[in-house]
Amino acid sequence: MQQSEFLNVVMPFKDKLFRLAKRLLVSKEEAEDATQEILLKLWSKKKSMEDYKNVEAFAMTMTKNFCLDRLKSKQAGNLKLVHSNYQEKGSQLQTQIEAKDSVSWVEKIMAELPEQQKMVLQLRDIEEYDYDEIGEMLNMQQTAVRVALSRARKTVREKLAQKHSYGIG
């Protein structure tokens, strides 16, 4: 497989890998490194890549495993990920500052979710995968995916409502 061919295969979903990595690892730099690592791994496996039914799902699973490993080693090393780059590129209108604030709250709330719910929510609501695709990527039953997703969505809703009623920003 040539480099251009490889890039054609990988390009469409590399952003998805990055976003999943960022969701899990929080910091942008970590996520970039992780994505790069995954792409290089894929590149080194390029000979066997034709054999995989779904390269995208395979890459997603790789990303998930890699990031979870990273998190585990981070915890073992007693390092805490810190990040301060809450950047919102959304609604640019000056009048929507409050709405913008709640939007960034969603990101913070998602960061507090358990890893599995985080991943399910990311894959479903942001990347819009089917349930069976998510099941394949995360090695879960479809019903388990649905349950995790429902829980994640409800948690986000509740916490968002709390923030609104308490008015803490």
Sign of CA dihedral 40, 41, 45, 46: negative
- The residues, ordered by sequence, that sit 6+ positions from 146 with a Cβ below 8 Å of its Cβ are 131
**116 interacts with another protein by CB under 8 A:** no
**106 interacts with another protein by CB under 8 A:** yes
Among 64, 105, 113, 140, binds another protein (CB under 8 A): 105
By C-alpha distance, which of 139, 127, 125 is closest to 68?
139
Scanning 11-19, 53-61, 66-74, 77-85 for contacts with another protein by CB under 8 A, the matching segment is 11-19
Residue 4 to residues 10, 46, 71: CA-CA distances in angstroms? 10, 12, 33
Residues that bind another protein (CB under 8 A): 3, 6-7, 14-15, 17-19, 22, 32, 35-36, 39-40, 43-44, 88-91, 99, 102-107, 124-128, 130, 146-147, 149-150, 153-154, 156-157, 160-161, 164
